[in-house]
C-alpha cells in the first residue's frame, strides 16, 4: 500500500486516525497497540507471506538487545559476541532476501556448472526495517535501555509511516516517545500539512518528472540527443528528489500526527556546492546511519588518510549496494566515494574558494551523472547515455528539437521543481508565519494541494480500453 | 479575536477540512450508485473483490480493493474531466490524456524512433500471405483487391505541431514496402493515400477528433474501389454523388480521441450520414441474426453524442447485406473498423455484401470462408499502421 493510493488515503488512514484517537490519550499502551496492529496490517497488505520476515526481525532484535543489556558493561567480549550475532542475523536476512539472487547470478559467471538458486522475492522495505532493527541493537549496545515490552520493539520496527521507504528512524530518536509522548492539535495540524506537502510532491512533481524521465530513458540511442539526455537526467533528478523527499515528508507528517518526531531526511540537496555537502543534505537518515554505525566504527578518519580512503570506499560501496542488488548501484556508490575522496584530498579546498555558481554547476553536473548511473539498467547503458550527454553532435535528424517538447509541455512543473528544490518557500513561510493572512493562505494552499493531488490520483485510474487502437 | 485563539481556530478548521475530505470521499464513494460501465474508457469498471482466505493470502483481494476503489471513487468522471480541463486550458499542454492537441485537430502522440531497417522481409511475408489469399479467391472464380487506407494521424502527419514526432520516415517506408511487395506479387491493390492527398482539406475526408475517415472519405474510398473493380471487368453500378445527399447530424461527434479528453475536447465536429434519392431495399444479418435493415445506427435524440459507431453500428464479426439483385456480383470485404463507413456505400453496388472483421470472427479462417461463400470479389482492407503485420485482419489462414 503506497501513501499515494486511494486505499491508503481513503480507507486505511481514516480508520487508523479514527480508532487511534478514539482511544483516550492517557491509554498510550492501547494507542500503541492500535498503531502496531495497523502497521502490521499495512505490511501484510503488501507482503502477505513475507510478513513473517518482519516478525522474525522484530523477535530477533528484541532478544539480541535484551541479551546485550543483560551482560554487564565489563563483559565486553560477551556483549560483542551478541552484537556480532545480531549483525549476522540482520545481514543474513538482508543477504538472503535481497542479495542472494544477485550473488548467485554473478557466481555462476565463474562456475562451469551453474548453481541453481531459488528465485527469492524481495520483501518490501526489507532494507529499511533491517537497518532499524540493527539501529535498535546498536543503540542498546551503546547504552540506551532496551524495551522490555516486545510490542514497543515491534512498533518501533514496523511503525507504518516509515516502514517501507524510510526515513530510517534511529532508536535513540524515538526511544522515549514509544512510551511517553505528547499529541496535540498543533502536531496534528503540522503533521497533516507536512503529509499533504509530501503527497503533492509525489503526485504533482515526482510523477510528472517521472513521465519525462521514463520516456527519455526509454528512447533509442539513435534518437537521443545531448539536450534530451541532459533533460532526462534533470527530470530523473527531480523525480527521485520529490518522490523520496515527498515520501519522507508524508512519513514525518504522519509521525507528527501520532506524536512521533522523526528527523528530517532531506535538506534541499540540490543547492549544494560540493558532493560532500550534497551527502549531508540527501537521505540524511541513511548517510548518518552508515557514518555512525559503519564508518566511525571502522576508524573513520582517525587512522590516517590511507585508511580513511579505504573506509570511504567501503562505506560507499555498501551504500550503493543498499540501494539495490545490481552492479550499477555499486558503481554509483563507488563513483560518489571517488568524488568524496577527491574533494577531501584536493577539490574541497578549491570549491570553498571557488565562485559559488561554479561550485553549484560542478555539484549539479556530478549529481546528474550519478543519477544516470543510478537509473541505468546496466553498465553498457551507462556508457551509452553518458557518451550521448557529452557528445558534441547536438543536431538529431530523427526528432529535431524534440527536447523542446518536454520543456514546453511541462513548463509549469519544471518551474515548480526548481522553486521547491530550493529553500525559497521555506524562507517565505518562516518570514511570514506570524502573519494571520499568511497563516490562512498557508492552510488554503495545503487544502488545495490535497484536492489537486486527489485529482491526479483519480486520473491515474483513467485506463481507456483498446478500442482506441481499434 | 486574539492571536492565539485565531491560530487555534484556524488550525482546527484546517484539520476538520482535511479530515472531512479524507472521510467524505470514501463514504460518498460507497453510498453512490454507479453503473459498471465507463463510457469514456469503453470498459467495464472493476467489481468488488471476493473475500476468501486464498485471495487474501495471494494478495489478489487487496489488489482488487485498490482497483475497485480507484474505479468507483465518488464522481470519478468529474475528477477526470476537471483534470483534463486543467491540463488543456490552464496548463495549456499539447499532449493531454495521450492525445496531441494540434490546431483544430486531435492526433495521437508518437515516440521518436529511428528508421526501421528490416521492412523488406516483412513486405515479402505480407505479400506471400496475400498471394495465398489471391490463389484461393481465383480458385473460386473471384477477384482480389487489396485496399490500403491510412489512419487519421498518418494522413494528417504534416499537422503535428513542432517539435512533436510524426514518424513520417517509417510510415512512408512501410507504405512503399507494402505496395511494392504487393505489386511484385501480381496482386491488384489500391493505395488510397494519394487520392486523399489530392483534397484541398484532408479534414473534410478524415475526422478531426477520431482515428477514422469521415463518411466523405469513405465515399471517396468507395468510388475509387468501384472504379478499380470496373477496370477489372466487374459489372457493377457505382453510386454517384448526385444519387444521394449528405445529411449532417446535429449531434456532437465524440471521436475516439475526443473521448479520451472526457468530453473536454477543444475541437468540435459533426458527422454525416447520407440519404439515397432512390432507396435500395435490403435485408441485414449480423452474426447470422436478422437485424434492422439500416446502415446507420442513429441516437434517440439530437443532443446525444454520436461516435463512429453510427456507421453500421460499430464492429461486427460478420455482417451480410442482401439486396436481391442477382444480376450484380457478390462481394466479401474484410478488415477493421474502417470497413464500417465503407459498407454503408458498398452494398449499393452489389447483390450480396459480406463483411468480416477477423479480430472478432473466429468460426473459420478467411480462406475457408471464401471457399464456402465463393464471392465474386474479395476486398481486403488494410490500414497503413498494420500493412506489414500478421495479426488481426492480417491473419490469412
Interface contacts A/B by beta carbons within 8 Å: 161
Chain B residues 75-94 with a CB less than 8 Å from chain A: 76, 79-80, 82-84, 86, 91, 93-94
Nearest CA in chain A to B59: A48
Closest CA to A99 of A131, A126, A129, A136: A126
Which among B13, B23, B162 has CB closest to A401? B162
Buried b / exposed e along B231-268 (16+ C-beta atoms within 10 A): eeebebeebeeeebeeeebebbbbbbbbbbbbbbbebe
Nearest CA to A366 among A338, A346, A385? Answer: A338
A469 — pLDDT class (breaks 50, 70, 90) = very low
Inspect the interface and report whether the beta carbons of A17 and B82 lie closer than 8 Å.
no
Closest chain B C-alpha to A17 CA, distance in angstroms: 9
Ramachandran bin of A402, using left for φ above 0, alpha for ψ from -120 to 50, beta for the remaining angles: alpha
- Contact across the interface for A464 and B259, Cβ inside 8 Å: yes
Task: Write the CB contacts of B163 (distance below 8 Å, at least 6 apart in sequence).
Answer: A399, A400, A401, A402, A403, A404, A405
CA separation for the pair B322, B347 (Å, rounded): 8
Percent of chain A surpassing pLDDT 90: 62
Q: What does residue B346 show for φ and ψ, rounded to 5 degrees?
A: -60, -40
The residue with cell 445527399 is B245
Q: What is the pLDDT of residue A468?
A: 38
Contacts of A456 in chain B (CB under 8 A): 83
**C-alpha to C-alpha distances, A285 to A176, A229, A266, A267, B113, nearest whole angstrom:** 19, 30, 9, 11, 42
Task: Tell me the C-alpha distance between B319 and B345, whole Å.
Answer: 14
In this complex, the residue of A192, A455, A467 whose CB is nearest that of residue B15 is A192
pLDDT of A464 reads 61
Contacts of B13 in chain A (CB under 8 A): 443
The radius of gyration of chain B's CA atoms, rounded to the nearest angstrom, is 26
Best residue in A196, A250, A399, A436 to probe B by mutation, most B CBs within 10 Å? Answer: A399
Give B-chain residues touching A189 at CB under 8 angstroms. 11-12, 14-15
* pLDDT tens digits along A307-323: 888 999 999 999 999 98
Sort out which chain A residues have CB atoms less than 8 A from B65's CB and list them: 7, 11
Please enumerate in sequence order all residues whose Cβ is within 8 A of that of A84, keeping only pairs 6 or more positions apart, or say none: none
Contacts of B93 in chain A (CB under 8 A): 409
Report how far apart, in Å, the C-alpha atoms of B320 and of each of B210, B312, B333, B347, B355 are. Answer: 26, 11, 10, 9, 6
Closest residue in A to B94 (Cα) is: A409
CB spacing of A462 vs B41 below 8 angstroms: yes
CA distance B37 to A467: 14
B110 contacts B165 by C-beta, under 8 angstroms? yes
Q: How far is B382 from B7, CA to CA, in rounded Å?
A: 69
Burial of B387 (0-12, 13-18, 19+ CB in 10 A): buried
Above 80 in pLDDT, residue A461? Answer: no
Query: By C-alpha distance, which of B276, B333, B385 is closest to A470?
Result: B385
Q: Which of B225, B317, B218 is nearest to B273 (CA)?
A: B218
DSSP single-letter state for residue A202: I
Beta pairing class for B377-383 and B330-334: parallel
Does the CB of B364 have a partner CB in chain A at under 8 Å?
Answer: no
Edge-to-edge order in the sheet of strand B95-96: B95-96, B99-102, B105-107
Rounded Cα distance between B85 and B87, Å, is 5
Residue A171 makes CB contacts below 8 A (sequence gap 6+) with: A132, A135, A136, A138, A139, A140, A144, A156
In the set A261, A283, A323, A384, the catalytic residue is A323
Full pLDDT tens readout for chain B, 397 residues: 677 788 888 889 999 999 999 999 999 998 988 788 888 887 888 888 999 999 999 889 999 998 898 888 998 889 999 999 999 999 999 999 999 999 999 999 999 988 877 788 888 889 999 999 999 999 999 999 999 999 999 999 999 998 899 999 999 999 999 999 999 999 999 999 999 999 888 989 999 999 999 999 999 999 999 999 999 999 999 999 999 999 999 999 999 999 999 989 999 999 999 999 999 999 999 999 999 999 999 998 999 999 999 999 999 999 999 999 999 999 999 999 999 999 999 999 999 999 999 999 999 999 999 999 999 999 999 999 889 888 888 888 8
CA distance A315 to A344: 15
- Grid look-up 540540490 returns A270
**DSSP string for residues in B297-364:** ---SSSSS-B-GGGBTTS--SEEEEE---TTSPEEEEE-STHHHHHHHHHGGG-SEEEEE-TTT--SS
Strands (E), chain B: 37-38, 43-44, 95-96, 99-102, 105-107, 143-149, 188-191, 244-248, 272-276, 283-286, 289-291, 318-322, 330-334, 352-356, 377-383
Nearest to A43 by CA among A94, A90, A101, A2: A2
State yes or no: is A323 an active-site residue. Answer: yes
How many helices (H) and strands (E) chain B has is answered by 12, 15
Contact A282, A323 (CB under 8 A): no
B35-62 burial code (b ≥16 CB/10 A, e <16): eeebebbebebbeebeeeeeeeeeeebb
A212 has pLDDT over 60: yes
**C-beta neighbour count of A423 within 10 angstroms:** 13
The full set of domain ranges for chain B reads 3-82, 119-394
Three-state secondary structure call for residue B375: coil
Please write the tens of the pLDDT for every residue from A27-73.
999 999 999 999 999 999 988 888 999 999 999 999 999 999 887 76
Chain centroid, CA A108 distance in Å: 31
Task: Give the model's pLDDT for residue A306.
Answer: 85
Q: Which of B79, B362, B335, B331 is nearest to B226 (CA)?
A: B331
Q: Minimum mean pLDDT among A273-287, A408-422, B28-42: which range?
A: B28-42
Please tell me the distance from the alpha carbon of residue B367 to that of residue B373, in angstroms, as a whole number: 10
Mean pLDDT of A298-304: 83
Q: Look at B40 and A464 and tell me if their CB atoms are within 8 Å.
A: yes
Residue of A nearest to B335 (CA): A470
Nearest to B145 by CA among B191, B189, B193, B183: B189
Cβ-Cβ contacts under 8 Å, B29 against chain A: 10
For residue range A168-198, list pLDDT tens digits in order.
Answer: 888 888 888 988 888 899 999 999 999 999 9
- Tell me whether residues B57 and A185 touch, CB distance under 8 A: no
A37 vs A331: CA distance, rounded Å: 40
Q: Does B117 touch chain A (CB under 8 A)?
A: no
Interface check for B283 against chain A (CB to CB < 8 A): the answer is no
The Cα of B257 is separated from the nearest Cα of chain A by a number of Å equal to 8
Confidence at residue A460, expressed as pLDDT on a 0 to 100 scale: 83
- Please tell me the predicted confidence (pLDDT) of residue B263: 83
DSSP secondary structure of B111-155: ---PPPS-HHHHHHHHHHHHHHHHHHHHHTT-EEEEEEE--HHHH
- The helix (run of H) or strand (run of E) holding residue A84 is helix A76-94
Q: What is the mean pLDDT of residues A264-269?
A: 94
Nearest-CA neighbor of A332 among A319, A343, A341? A319
Do B355 and B333 touch, CB atoms closer than 8 A? yes
| Inter-chain CB proximity A401 and B163 less than 8 Å | yes
B2, B5, B10, B14: best to mutate for the A interface, most A CBs within 10 A: B14
A436: which 3 cell numbers? 494571520
Amino acid at each position: 500500500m503506497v501513501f499515494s493510493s486511494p486505499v491508503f488515503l481513503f480507507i486505511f488512514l481514516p480508520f487508523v486516525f479514527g480508532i487511534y484517537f478514539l482511544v483516550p490519550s492517557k491509554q498510550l499502551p492501547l494507542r500503541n497497540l492500535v498503531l502496531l496492529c495497523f502497521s502490521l496490517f499495512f505490511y501484510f497488505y503488501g507482503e502477505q507471506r513475507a510478513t513473517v520476515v518482519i516478525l522474525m526481525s522484530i523477535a530477533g532484535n528484541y532478544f539480541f538487545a535484551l541479551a546485550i543489556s543483560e551482560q554487564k558493561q565489563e563483559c565486553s567480549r560477551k556483549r560483542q559476541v551478541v552484537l556480532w550475532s545480531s549483525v549476522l542475523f540482520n545481514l543474513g536476512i538482508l543477504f538472503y532476501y535481497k542479495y542472494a539472487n544477485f550473488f548467485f547470478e554473478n557466481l555462476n559467471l565463474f562456475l562451469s556448472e551453474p548453481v541453481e538458486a531459488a528465485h527469492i522475492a524481495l520483501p518490501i522495505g526489507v532494507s529499511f526495517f533491517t537497518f532499524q532493527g540493527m539501529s535498535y541493537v546498536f543503540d542498546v549496545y551503546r547504552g540506551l535501555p532496551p524495551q522490555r515490552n516486545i510490542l514497543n520493539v515491534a512498533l518501533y520496527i514496523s511503525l507504518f509511516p516509515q516502514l517501507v521507504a524510510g526515513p530510517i528512524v534511529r532508536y535513540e530518536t524515538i526511544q522515549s516517545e514509544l512510551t511517553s509522548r505528547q499529541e496535540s492539535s498543533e502536531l496534528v495540524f503540522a503533521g497533516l500539512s507536512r503529509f499533504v506537502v509530501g503527497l503533492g510532491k509525489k503526485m504533482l512533481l515526482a510523477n510528472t518528472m517521472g513521465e519525462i524521465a521514463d520516456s527519455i530513458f526509454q528512447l533509442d540511442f539513435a534518437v537521443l540527443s545531448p539536450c534530451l539526455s541532459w533533460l532526462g537526467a534533470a527530470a530523473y533528478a527531480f523525480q527521485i528528489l520529490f518522490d523520496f523527499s515527498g515520501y519522507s515528508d508524508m512519513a514525518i507528517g504522519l509521525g507528527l500526527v501520532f506524536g512521533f518526531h522523526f528527523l528530517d531526511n532531506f535538506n534541499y540537496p540540490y543547492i549544494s556546492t560540493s558532493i560532500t555537502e550534497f551527502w549531508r543534505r540527501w537521505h540524511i537518515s541513511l548517510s548518518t546511519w552508515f557514518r555512525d554505525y559503519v564508518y566511525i566504527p571502522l576508524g573513520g578518519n582517525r587512522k590516517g588518510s590511507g585508511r580513511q580512503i579505504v573506509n570511504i570506499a567501503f562505506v560507499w560501496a555498501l551504500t550503493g549496494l543498499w540501494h539495490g542488488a545490481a552492479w550499477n548501484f555499486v558503481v554509483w556508490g563507488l563513483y560518489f566515494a571517488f568524488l568524496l575522496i577527491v574533494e577531501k584530498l584536493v577539490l574541497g579546498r578549491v570549491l570553498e574558494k571557488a565562485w559559488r555558481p561554479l561550485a553549484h554547476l560542478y555539484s549539479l553536473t556530478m549529481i546528474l551523472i550519478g543519477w544516470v548511473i543510478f537509473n541505468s539498467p546496466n553498465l553498457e547503458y551507462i556508457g551509452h547515455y553518458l557518451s550521448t550527454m557529452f557528445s558534441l553532435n547536438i543536431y538529431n535528424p530523427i526528432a529535431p528539437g524534440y527536447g523542446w517538447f518536454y520543456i514546453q509541455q511541462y513548463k509549469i512543473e519544471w518551474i515548480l521543481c526548481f522553486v521547491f528544490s530550493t529553500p525559497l518557500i521555506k524562507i517565505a513561510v518562516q518570514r511570514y508565519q506570524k502573519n494571520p493572512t499568511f497563516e490562512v493562505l498557508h492552510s488554503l494552499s495545503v487544502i488545495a494541494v490535497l484536492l489537486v493531488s486527489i485529482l491526479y490520483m483519480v486520473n491515474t485510474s483513467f485506463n481507456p480500453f483498446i478500442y482506441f487502437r481499434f | 479575536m486574539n492571536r492565539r485563539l485565531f491560530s487555534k481556530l484556524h488550525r482546527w478548521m484546517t484539520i476538520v477540512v482535511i479530515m472531512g475530505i479524507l472521510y467524505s470521499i470514501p463514504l460518498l464513494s460507497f453510498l453512490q450508485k454507479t453503473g459498471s460501465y465507463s463510457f469514456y474508457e469503453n470498459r467495464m469498471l472493476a467489481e468488488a473483490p471476493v473475500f476468501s482466505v486464498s485471495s487474501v493470502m495471494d494478495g489478489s483481494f487487496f489488489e482488487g480493493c485498490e482497483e475497485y476503489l480507484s474505479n468507483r471513487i465518488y464522481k470519478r468522471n468529474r475528477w477526470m474531466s476537471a483534470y483534463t480541463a486543467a491540463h488543456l486550458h490552464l496548463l495549456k499542454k499539447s499532449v493531454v490524456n495521450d492525445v496531441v492537441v494540434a490546431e483544430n485537430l486531435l492526433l495521437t502522440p508518437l515516440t521518436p524512433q529511428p528508421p526501421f531497417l528490416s521492412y523488406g522481409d516483412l513486405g515479402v511475408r505480407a505479400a506471400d500471405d496475400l498471394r495465398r489469399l489471391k490463389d484461393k479467391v481465383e480458385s473460386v472464380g473471384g477477384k482480389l483487391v487489396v485496399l490500403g487506407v491510412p489512419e487519421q494521424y498518418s494522413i494528417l502527419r504534416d499537422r503535428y505541431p513542432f517539435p512533436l514526432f510524426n514518424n513520417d520516415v517509417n510510415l512512408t517506408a512501410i507504405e512503399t514496402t507494402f505496395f511494392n511487395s504487393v505489386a511484385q506479387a501480381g496482386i491488384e491493390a489500391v493505395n488510397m493515400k494519394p487520392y486523399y492527398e489530392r483534397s484541398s482539406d484532408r479534414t473534410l475526408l478524415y475526422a478531426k477528433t477520431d482515428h477514422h475517415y469521415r463518411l466523405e472519405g469513405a465515399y471517396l474510398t468507395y468510388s475509387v474501389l468501384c472504379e478499380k473493380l470496373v477496370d477489372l471487368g466487374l459489372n457493377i453500378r457505382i453510386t454517384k454523388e448526385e444519387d444521394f445527399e449528405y445529411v449532417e447530424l446535429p449531434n456532437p461527434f465524440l471521436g475516439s480521441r475526443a473521448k479520451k479528453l472526457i468530453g473536454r475536447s477543444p475541437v468540435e465536429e459533426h458527422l454525416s450520414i447520407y440519404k439515397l434519392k432512390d432507396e435500395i431495399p435490403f435485408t441485414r444479418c449480423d452474426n447470422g441474426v436478422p437485424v434492422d435493415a439500416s446502415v446507420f445506427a442513429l441516437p434517440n435524440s439530437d443532443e446525444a453524442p454520436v461516435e463512429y459507431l453510427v456507421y453500421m453500428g460499430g464492429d461486427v464479426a460478420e455482417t451480410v447485406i442482401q439486396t436481391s439483385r442477382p444480376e450484380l456480383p457478390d462481394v466479401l470485404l474484410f478488415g477493421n473498423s474502417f470497413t464500417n463507413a465503407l459498407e454503408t456505400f458498398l452494398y449499393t453496388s452489389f447483390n450480396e455484401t459480406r463483411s468480416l472483421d477477423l479480430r472478432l470472427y473466429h468460426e473459420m479462417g478467411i480462406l475457408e470462408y471464401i471457399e464456402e461463400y465463393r464471392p465474386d470479389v474479395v476486398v481486403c482492407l488494410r490500414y497503413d499502421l498494420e500493412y506489414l503485420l500478421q495479426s488481426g485482419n492480417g491473419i490469412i489462414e
